[in-house]
Amino acid sequence: MIITSCLIIFPFLMLFAIFLAKKLNLVDKPNLRKVHKLDVVNISGIIISIFMVTVIGITEYSKLLENIIIFGFLISLIGFFDDRSEMKPSTKFFLMLFPTSYLILNGFTLTNLGKYEFINMLELGKASIPFTFLAVMLLINAINYIDGTDGLLIGYAITALLYFYFLSDKQSQYLSLILIFIYFLFISLIFNFLPIQSGFKSFMGDSGSLFISFFISFTLIFLYKYKGIHPAFLIWACWLPVYDFLHVTFQRLIIRSNFSNPDKSHFHHYVLNYFSNNHFKTFLSINSLNIIIIYLGYFVSQQVGAIYSLSLFVLLFLVFVSIKLKLKKYLKI
């Protein structure tokens, strides 16, 4: 009953928070990199993280899941202050170091990467902690990369969480938490796509992108380590951010560009350009592609085998790079 009340209240609290945010000037201001020409409130992410903390406060979940939410909220606060003052990347990394390290050292260390045909178990040995830390930090950064056009990150997160739900035993208690998160994201998606002129448009902000990326990163570890879902299935939930992150990183290495300097070399920028800055078409096309690729990866993992799923993951990365390069040439970027 309390959870139901929380779900009903959420949209109305969003409306109030947007009104209050305008009064306090908690907005995303336009600049050369951004498409919007007017100030837009960017508090959806911090509101979602507050509600997720509220949910675990009034309902019993496993300590591991509660820790993901609690420390995710701390990450969200870092993003909230970054939205206000634009922290240096080094400062943000230093602050994120503590909640991330705590979880890794308290139940979320990967000791292996699963068992595969022909090569057996991939043990990490002494590299377990550094590998887990590096993987989590890179994935958080990678998911944060796709937050560059209306609704894309939210749509990606909803798809990933629905995939987690699909992969899981339907009797598992943690699934209710995933469904609640999906509901909060869906309501936020509606506010995200409202026209600026309505006065109720709201972005997730860095607080939201960090909370989402933190939650997905550690949920992937949780699902493998404690629910026995093979990594060959789980990797497909993050193909989009991983592919784009790797390509952009390699590209910046080649041209010797500063990694901390934002640019418009991401996949969603190319697609947005292709659709003449139509955010809704970009949202639909990329999220539709995401669903198709996830299904393809699941099918290969289920019907063919884990090692073939990994091989396909590498092959599709090369296809992804090829498509990006063709789009870049076609659009003359």
Q: How confident is the model at residue 183 (pLDDT cuts 50, 70, 90)?
A: very high
What DSSP assignment string belongs to 243-258? HHHHHHHHHHHHHT--
> Do 18 and 191 form a contact (C-beta atoms < 8 A)?
yes
**What is the rounded distance in angstroms from the CA atom of residue 252 to the CA atom of residue 137?**
19
pLDDT > 70 fraction of the chain, expressed in percent and rounded = 94
- Greatest mean pLDDT range, 17-31, 69-83, 142-156: 69-83
200: exposed, middle or buried (Cβ count in 10 Å: 0-12, 13-18, 19+): middle
Split at pLDDT 50, 70, 90, the class of 21 is confident
pLDDT, mean of residues 187-196 = 88
What sign for the dihedral angle of Cα 294, 298, 300, 301? positive
Tell me the pLDDT tens digit for each residue of 47-85.
999 999 999 888 888 899 999 999 999 999 999 888 878
Q: What is the pLDDT of residue 329?
A: 76
In the predicted model, is pLDDT for residue 37 greater than 60? no
Compare 2 and 192 and report the one with higher pLDDT: 192
Report residue 169 as tokens. Answer: 């035993």
Task: Give the per-residue pLDDT at 174.
Answer: 86
pLDDT exceeds 70 at position 261: no
Is the model's pLDDT at 290 over the cut of 90? yes
Residue 33 clears pLDDT 70, i.e. is over it: no
The predicted pLDDT at position 199 comes to: 77
- The alpha helices in the chain, defined as continuous H runs, are 2-23, 44-58, 63-85, 89-105, 128-145, 152-167, 175-193, 205-225, 231-234, 239-255, 267-274, 279-303, 306-331
The mean pLDDT value of the chain amounts to 88
In this prediction, residue 291 has a pLDDT band, given cuts at 50, 70 and 90, of very high
Task: Say what the pLDDT of residue 7 is.
Answer: 82
